[in-house]
Amino acid sequence: MKCNPSDPCLGAGTHGGIPFLPGTSRTSRPTAKMASAAELFVFPVCLLMVVLWPNALPAAPRSPSATEKIYQRCQAACVEVLVNGHHSGSGWFAQADGLVVTAAHLFERRDDTIEVVSPGLGRLACSLRAVDRGHDIALLKTKTLTGDFPVLTFSSTPLRVGDEILQFGAPLFRAGVLQPGRVAQPDPSFEFYPDRKGYVEVLHVAGMMQAGTSGGPWLDGAGNVVGLQSGVMSLEGKPIGIAFLVPATPIRGLLKTLCDAATPDAGFWVDQLWERDAEFLRKFPTGTEGLAVSGVRQDGPAARAGIEPGEVVIAAEGRKILRIQALLEIIRAKRPGERLQLTLLRAGAAEPLQRTLTLDRAEADMAPLASKPIEEQR
């Protein structure tokens, strides 16, 4: 064999066509074959170990995310509410002594049989201690005398439009569901609840809530309570993606007083005038501004004052009224028993009508224990 100086084989010999290094025995040929075979075997095994080694080791514990931590806190502190044995809504422990916050519209009577169901504490009997119909808040007290209940704390940060928040509840009998929402309107407004025939002060949230979530908490990104789930905007009985959130301030207020609120109630409800059809509008002078009376509660303040459906409220306490918000703010600034002066138009009447109402208390349907603080009821 001839080699050029630049050849890579320089200094090597051959044996039967197999190259070998100088100084090596020709008898090393079988050993070389064994080494080559070993290399061919070891390389894929090593490669396989590199690929499989991470999966062969136990996975390191993963720290829970911020949302998972919120979920875990809610699982411990939130409850389902049963009224007369039926699942009616959701709620949460707000105080370690067993005080539960939920929605007032779940209850028709003070003496309903009320229980809460907790994943960690089981089924607990409760009593209805305080209600605020104007904000749809109810406080329940467990009948368990001892216990250090897990609680959710309130946020100290005001909500802003666009804030992403979370709701925890039991939609359609499915316990422990965390759902997202976004603040759509941060300023309080009033929504009429047909079942209660009254108005509730709420914020609007873009979020699709379901039956069973009423009374459950809305939470910020840190897991602190920013409000209570109350109701939903609907069209022909179907939710349309706007939920009603009761802000934290009146909830904290009820927890502080521990007795029923005194929400003034006028006993009638209205529509924006532009919600009515052309036939209705033709009954009144062109350019009429006000609110159309759409309903009057039997034996309520408005009925006693002679107000009828179809009339138009054009002023309250001498101030022109264009929107529902303005009328409710005037009413809510008063107390039950005080008077409300209204100016109305009636179709076919030559002159506006003056009506004076004496306001009722929206919580009057809970009269048996209406004004007793919790300490007096134990």
Rounded Cα distance between 138 and 259, Å, is 10
Angle at alpha carbon of residue 99, lines to 93 and 105, rounded to 5° = 85
Q: Is domain 65-261+363-378 annotated with CATH 2.40.10.120?
A: yes
CB 231 within 8 A of CB 246: no
Report the first-to-last Cα separation within the chain, whole angstroms.
111
Predicted local distance difference test score (pLDDT) of residue 33: 53
* Domain spans, the chain: 13-56, 65-261+363-378, 267-358
Along the 378 residues of the chain, how does pLDDT read in single tens digits? 444 444 444 444 444 444 444 444 444 455 455 555 555 655 665 565 655 555 556 666 788 899 999 999 999 999 999 999 999 999 999 999 999 999 999 999 998 999 999 998 999 999 999 999 999 999 999 998 677 899 999 999 999 999 999 999 999 999 999 999 999 999 999 999 998 899 999 999 999 999 999 999 999 999 999 999 999 999 988 899 999 999 999 999 999 999 999 999 999 999 999 999 999 999 999 999 999 999 999 999 999 999 999 999 999 999 999 999 999 999 999 999 999 999 999 998 889 999 999 999 999 988 654 444 433 333
Angle at alpha carbon of residue 171, lines to 167 and 175, rounded to 5° = 85
Name the CATH architecture for the domain at 267-358.
Roll (2.30)
> What's the whole-model pTM score?
0.81
Write the DSSP assignment of 12-31 as a string of letters: -EEETTEEE-TT--GGGHHH
